[in-house]
Structure 1
Amino acid sequence: MKRKNWIIISVITLIIILVGTNVIRTLSKENPEVKTVTVGEREITGSIMIPGTLSLKEEKFIYLDPEKGKIAEILVKEGDKVEKGSALLRYDNEQLQLEKKQNALSLESSYLRINQIKNQLNDLEEKEEDLEKQIGEKEAEKQIESERNQLNIDLKMADIEARQILLQKETIEKKLGELEVKSESSGSVITINSDALTTQSQNPIIHVGKINEFVVKGTISEYDSLKIKEKQSVTLKSDVIPDKTWKGAVESVSLLPEQANSVMGNEDQAVQYPIEVNLQDKKIEAKPGFKLIMEIETEKRKALAIQLEAVKQDGEIQFVYIVEDGKAVHKEVEMGTASGDFIEVKKGLNKGDSVIVNPSKNLENNMEVTVE
């Protein structure tokens, strides 16, 4: 009998525990605690991240030009400071020197020919005066007219020939002037490659650049080219130096895309536009050639925003839960630009709405909730 009573008591106790547990679960389900944030205006910053390469802002490469002759002398050494117009190297061209001498002889011969014709015209004037005394002015002029006309034609032809020789002289002098290669900008002589003095080498002989002024070069898609403009702010980072960031600004976006080699069957390859970012920080630990990440700020404006973790997605539908009269209300929303931990609200919410942050999967529409 006692054993039977104990069994009954145990069953009743178990039922009470189960019922109590279900009641607690039900209460917990109906009235979970939630954390909320208030929808308000924030500064939204849109950005685009692209890779780039650190390069000198101004640099020039001097290559061997066999058409100018042989290099007679390199006039600078590595580390030298040069100004725009400074002589870097000089060619020696025997053929040009020979052409210069031949041109000088041709010009001298042409002037002699001109002077000779002028003397003949003077002699003809004297001859005409003598004939006038013998046969009269009209008859004398008639006799020497054809000879005078021929001499005048010869004089014009000699003058044209002389001017052609003078033009040749200018061309030769210009070519001789180009034998001395000058720097197109101020800077420092970074490298001199003596091995590049042979016609077989494709490497530059002299590399000149400004070693303290940098730009970052990269390419952007046609879509991004519509968003990125000159003077936009840029933050630069390097995987090699992870604890450093540098500031810059967009210097230029090319009007034309870069020329890509066409590949058979790849006519629809993405179009890329070159971009340059001016590095504003003068002291940078990175070296030319380093790969950098450019985060370009494309917009900055005030907009309604909430924390990213408040927004959920069901397929293509974005939604949040807001608290109204102690209940969680399901709201479909349209979101815009993400900025840090926040995202722009375009539709579905109003300023001042209380939005549940990181809602539970068990949360349902119109479920009563307790706000922490």
Structure 2
Amino acid sequence: MGVAESQADDGLRSYLRRPTVLLLAVACLYLLVDLLAKLGGVRIAPGGIHLIGGEIPVANVVGFLMDGLILGLIIALAGVGLSMTYSILGFANFAHGDYLTAGAFSGWAAAYVVALFTLDGLDVTFGEVILLNAPSLVSAWTSPFAVLVGFIVAAVVSVVLVLGLDRAVYRPMRDKGSISLLIASIGVALALRYLIVFVWSPSTRGVTSTNPESLPSMDLFGIYTLNLHEGIMIVVAVGLMLGVHLLLQYTKLGKAMRAMSDNKALAQVTGIPTERVVRATWVIGGGLAGVAGFLIILERGVLSFNFGWRLLLFIFSGVILGGIGSVYGAIGGGIIIGVASRIALVWLPSGFPRVAAFGVMILVLLYRPAGLFGGVTTA
């Protein structure tokens, strides 16, 4: 038997000696059997006491899984930037959720302005501007150019925003410690959120079409319909995460980021331009946050001033579950949190998805306190 096999066996035996692990395994097995029984329409209730099973359509379960995957990809995309910020700058940035909101508002404002012109929504006569056919809902099908411009504007505005905040707030405080930076980020989050309220008002508004009849869609095995906006969201999120992987593994900047996250002092001694790496980290993290915010509104269709703040709890959960400081952990943890929050609807009422997601995070951390990818930094 090899050394690796021996270590794996020792690790397995150490887990099995803990009774709570066995209880967790039994609970997971029960949920799996119960799900299979529900799918098969089998119900076991001796004496009227429900023990296992019931009835749930396969289409519902597939819908929960797909919705969870879509949510998980957005959490993962936003979590990559948060994880990189933590691993290189050393603090948890509570303003990250509001970067999503700022990117979404700026991107969709730009998309609507472009849609006014490209959809013949304006008539300019002798200096007078008259609204003719102002778009009520923008979609990637009816106005793809407007959505593309909004996508770019969301990323650019978020990058400019985070670089400005770094220059004005975080950079002068870097030698004050991570707690000071964390508290400062909370203040930045509140300032950003209510600046958005001041400019756009606190009202919730519908901005994109989510009607399946008005969007091209693809039928998956007759049990789930994937519309155009969901497809765009999946393709862009996966493509950007793959791009981050390639950057970290195969570029000079990526190697410098990994070196700095492992040992900042040593990176400075070896001549790595650490300030340039910090700026690049803000650019990548801010850009991904802005894009994530724009994409989630493209799929959900509803824009509100605090949606990024509400999503931040899921983002932190995914990052912590995967192992804070690990990009791949943020991706894996985000997807797990997203899927868990939706598949839990098989057993829980509709108001409890957050409880299930955080419960999964807590259970994993009880047995792997460093997270699923604990000990792996940046890459």
TM-score category (smaller protein): under 0.3
Name which one, 1 or 2, has greater alpha-carbon Rg: 1
Higher helix share: 2
Which structure has greater strand proportion?
A: 1
